[in-house]
Amino acid sequence: MNTFKKIHASEIERLLANYPPDRKQAAVMPLLHLAQQEAGYITEPVMQEIAEICEISATEVASIVGYYTMFHDQPGGKIRLMVCTDVACRLHGAREYLSALCNELGVAPGGTSSDGLVTIEEVKCIAACDHAPVFQSQIGDEVEYHENQNPGRTLDWLRLMTASMKTGQASMNLGQEADHE
């Protein structure tokens, strides 16, 4: 028996019981949520296990992980901040907004702040095009949408969130001179 199945045997059984035996593939999303709870991302071996459980290919599982922004195949910070840079948002300054955030955090898109708290990522359309710039935040399983952003507003939110986490770490190295609009 492999690791994911072994650790979560009863929960996997409970989830599969929600679907007919010939529709095991329908359990792939809840199983991915379950897998991601552990480390905040889903490894390839775990995707393979989920594929076996659901009787689909590992490629199909990987494509689901790649499609949905709430699933991750790489480790990241406690806060994932996903900025839409798709066409409509780009026309409203999303690239400049992303650059300003990355500069303040001292990371490139896809990177994690030095204290390990914040990962900033570029994503495709999150269906809030008329309120750009926008970002989606994810903290554990909690996903929120943030519209009509500017760097100062987003950095204020980040300071609030990191302070409330009470991690015991020093505050993030966020610029105190953010451009508040």
List contacts with ligand FES (CB under 6 A): 84, 86-89, 125-129, 132, 134
Please identify, using beta-carbon distances, which residue of 16 and 98 lies nearer to ligand FES: 98
CB of 20 to ligand FES, least distance (A): 36
CA proximity to 120, closest of 64, 162, 78: 78
User: Least CB distance from residue 136 to ligand FES, whole Å?
Assistant: 9
CB 54 within 8 A of CB 62: no
Peptide bond into 133 cis (omega under 30): yes
Shortest approach of ligand FES to residue 82 CB, angstroms? 11
Q: How far is the CB of 162 from ligand FES (least distance, A)?
A: 25
7 or 123: CB nearest ligand FES: 123
Measured from the CB atom, the residue of 72 and 146 that comes closer to ligand FES is 146
Between CA 76 and CA 68 the distance in angstroms is 16
In the complex, the smallest distance separating the C-beta of residue 88 from ligand FES, rounded to whole angstroms, is 4
Query: Given the complex with ligand FES, which of 34 and 128 has the nearer CB atom?
Result: 128
Which residues, 6+ apart, have CB-to-CB distance to 117 below 8 Å?
A: 77, 78, 79, 162, 165, 167, 169, 172
CA distance 116 to 140: 14
Instruction: Kindly tell me which of 86 and 156 has the beta carbon lying closer to ligand FES.
Output: 86
Shortest spacing between CB 130 and ligand FES, in angstroms? 8
Of 79 and 132, CB closest to ligand FES: 132
Angle between helices 9-16 and 28-39 (to 10 degrees): 150
Tokens of 135: 């970002």
**Helix (H/G/I), strand (E/B), else coil: 135:** strand
Closest CA to 50 of 77, 70, 25: 25
